[in-house]
Amino acid sequence: MHAALLIDEILQVILGQCSDWPDQEYRRVLCQIAKCCRAWKDPALDRLWNRLDNIEPLLRLLPMQLLRRNASLNYNVHVDNLANFRTYASRVRHVTHRGALPVSPLLQSIILMPKLSHVVLRGEGCEVAPCFKTSRALRHLNITLNHYNKERPHSMLLRSDAVATYLDSLNAWDVDLQTLRLRGRLSAQLSMTLASLTTLRTLLLYAGDSLTAQMLLAIANFPRLRRLDVQATHINPSTFFETLSPSAPPLFPTLQNLKISCQPDFLAALLQTLPVGVLQKVQIDTAYSPISFHPSFERLSLIGSHSLEELCVEAFIPSDDVEYSGAVHSDRALTISALRPLAGLKALRRFSIHGTAPPDFCDGDIEQIAAWWPRLSLLNLGLIEDFHADAFSRLTPAVFFVLAKLCRELKSLTLPVDILDSALPLPPPGAHLAISLCSLRSLSIGTAPLSLDCISVFVRHVVAAFPGVENVDSTSWGGYWLEHAEECIDLRPGAVGPLSDRIVVGDRRYRFVTHS
């Protein structure tokens, strides 16, 4: 064996490279490594016990008397009886609990896993004894209370209160809890406890209408909160702001990453209270109308002019709202006018639109977008068939050259491009030479071609505009593409050429080389 393999740092690098193997295979290999070499034993066991999907393997190392609720308080817990347990328990940093466990009162207040940093509690696991989920090293907590149970109507309330008691104990221990993900209905006790978790840097809260305006206002004043993911569609803006003084300091003073589901008027009001130059990433899920986004986008452009790098808009049309035709050119379409207030986002690198509001852009609109945000690395304006079967697009493959010229850092592009026009002229010879610096690697389009000529012309536009593209994704091409593609593109296995790339059709991947 090479002497370098006895160096712990090198071994850790090797084991880390293998960590993306299937879990069972990786754990089996770690067991074998721990057995075959004394120098490798501890590093392998550290990784093997680092993450436990349940606590049972560790419990097997405890004396049985300590796993009984009615164990005698006079039972003598000898240090030697726990030595082996403590050795392995000190390796555990991540544990998942899915059920409550019987345990002796002797262990209730003892920290069994001193290096535990990440705890996942699901369902009945929320009621597990504190000794199995408490540590001064705890930083990340993931809690799922589960859904309402008709057979046990009070179980959710009891579970929610149990979580509140647990979080209160973490506060009493001065645990620096940094990340909390909580899904489920909040009891009054849990709401009060959450308001006291001021050490949080990340909060992902999915509590439905049990999240009150007062609770959200308390969260808004957390001094270290950097990321917030919250559902607030039920909160009325007047209820939220009625207790807020006009002279109050900005809310969410350190918030960099915001993901929120809410009504447009609440979003506009909330953004008015945020500080300038702090937000870096925003994801909005809200109802859309041609005028509903304007005040929010104007404010977002002001507070994020030099800081906001990523914006994702989930724009949906309420199902009970005005019906619109299948054509994209309706009064409900998402147009360049709706996006124009965002032109001031000078640092924007990633922009996406999803939802049910159909996009309506022409080539000139995309040129405006490229001029606003020349540093884009990702642009996703949706695909027409995602919105309506009869929808159509005004974008043509000519827009690829506009983006390739103006957005040199673009790596991923999704556009509702119309490639049905067989009369579309071929790109001029050498067109790719003038824009070869564009770094695009992934392109998604949606509208299926009707003729073989369309496929050929489209592919020539793609490789002329983006010589470095690696993936062209169009699941809608389907069988037509498989049947006719070889007539314009060489799909031979391993084909190599100056413009060789891959096309993804469904779950199948192809390399292609354009004919000269």
* Distance, first Cα to last Cα, the chain: 54
**Residue pair 472/451 in contact by the 8 Å Cβ criterion:** no
State the alpha helices, DSSP H only, in 90-225: 155-172, 188-194, 213-219
Q: How many CA atoms, within 13 angstroms, populate the side-chain half-sphere of residue 202? A: 10
Instruction: Report how far residue 401's alpha carbon sits from residue 279's, in angstroms, rounded to the nearest whole number.
Output: 32
Q: What is the DSSP string of 305-360?
A: TTT--EEEEEEE--TTS----SSS-STT-B-HHHHGGGGG-TT--EEEEEESS-B-
- Considering the domain architecture, whether residues 353 and 404 belong to the same structural domain is answered as no
Which has the higher per-residue pLDDT, 163 or 35?
Answer: 163
Closest by CA to 419, choosing from 437, 396, 398, is 396
**CB count, 10 Å around CB of 65?**
14
CA distances from 477 to 411, 474, 483, 488 (A): 23, 6, 10, 15
**pLDDT surpasses 70 at 449:** no
**pLDDT surpasses 70 at 351:** yes
Instruction: Report how far residue 361's alpha carbon sits from residue 356's, in angstroms, rounded to the nearest whole number.
Output: 15
**Residue pair 471/442 in contact by the 8 Å Cβ criterion:** yes
78-92, 130-144, 399-413: range with lowest mean pLDDT: 78-92
Helix (H, G, I), strand (E, B) or coil at 221: coil
Does any domain span residue 75? no
pLDDT classification of 23: cutoffs 50, 70, 90: confident
- Considering the domain architecture, whether residues 389 and 476 belong to the same structural domain is answered as yes
Question: What's the confidence (pLDDT) of residue 102?
Answer: 73
Does any domain span residue 115? no
Element (H, E) at 509: strand 508-514
Number of structural domains (the chain) is: 2
Length of the chain: 516
CB under 8 Å to 209, separation ≥6 — which residues?
234
pLDDT classification of 281: cutoffs 50, 70, 90: very high
**pLDDT surpasses 80 at 160:** yes
DSSP letter (8 states) at residue 373: -
pLDDT classification of 462: cutoffs 50, 70, 90: confident
Does any domain span residue 400? yes
**Residue pair 478/454 in contact by the 8 Å Cβ criterion:** no
CB under 8 Å to 499, separation ≥6 — which residues?
463, 467, 513, 514
- Considering the domain architecture, whether residues 295 and 349 belong to the same structural domain is answered as yes
**Residue pair 246/221 in contact by the 8 Å Cβ criterion:** no
- Considering the domain architecture, whether residues 513 and 440 belong to the same structural domain is answered as yes
Residue whose structure tokens are 């393997």: 57
Domain span at residue 339 reads 257-360
- Considering the domain architecture, whether residues 343 and 396 belong to the same structural domain is answered as no
Instruction: Report how far residue 354's alpha carbon sits from residue 395's, in angstroms, rounded to the nearest whole number.
Output: 18
- Considering the domain architecture, whether residues 319 and 428 belong to the same structural domain is answered as no
| Biggest distance spanned by C-alpha atoms of the chain | 91
Buried b (16+ CB within 10 A) or exposed e, 142-178: bbbbbeeeeeeeebbbebbbbbbebbeebeeeebebb
**pLDDT surpasses 60 at 482:** no
Instruction: Report how far residue 402's alpha carbon sits from residue 371's, in angstroms, rounded to the nearest whole number.
Output: 10
**pLDDT surpasses 60 at 214:** yes
Displacement of CA 393 from its chain's centroid (Å): 29
**Residue pair 477/510 in contact by the 8 Å Cβ criterion:** no
**CB count, 10 Å around CB of 93?**
20
Instruction: Report how far residue 417's alpha carbon sits from residue 399's, in angstroms, rounded to the nearest whole number.
Output: 9
**pLDDT surpasses 90 at 143:** yes
**pLDDT surpasses 70 at 7:** no
Does any domain span residue 127? no
- Considering the domain architecture, whether residues 456 and 514 belong to the same structural domain is answered as yes
- Considering the domain architecture, whether residues 501 and 449 belong to the same structural domain is answered as yes
Does any domain span residue 229? no
**pLDDT surpasses 90 at 198:** yes
Closest by CA to 148, choosing from 210, 190, 97, is 210
**Residue pair 475/506 in contact by the 8 Å Cβ criterion:** yes
Q: Which among 35-39, 54-58, 180-184, 433-437 has the top mean pLDDT?
A: 180-184
Instruction: Report how far residue 295's alpha carbon sits from residue 310's, in angstroms, rounded to the nearest whole number.
Output: 19
Residue whose structure tokens are 């992902």: 204
Element (H, E) at 514: strand 508-514
- Considering the domain architecture, whether residues 402 and 516 belong to the same structural domain is answered as yes
Question: What's the confidence (pLDDT) of residue 8?
Answer: 67
CB under 8 Å to 277, separation ≥6 — which residues?
303, 304, 305, 306, 307
Displacement of CA 159 from its chain's centroid (Å): 27
Question: What's the confidence (pLDDT) of residue 192?
Answer: 95
Residue type, 226: R
- Considering the domain architecture, whether residues 274 and 401 belong to the same structural domain is answered as no
What percent of the chain lies above the pLDDT cut of 70?
A: 72
Does any domain span residue 329? yes
Does any domain span residue 495? yes
- Considering the domain architecture, whether residues 356 and 392 belong to the same structural domain is answered as no
Does any domain span residue 500? yes
**pLDDT surpasses 90 at 450:** no
**Residue pair 48/34 in contact by the 8 Å Cβ criterion:** yes
**pLDDT surpasses 70 at 100:** yes
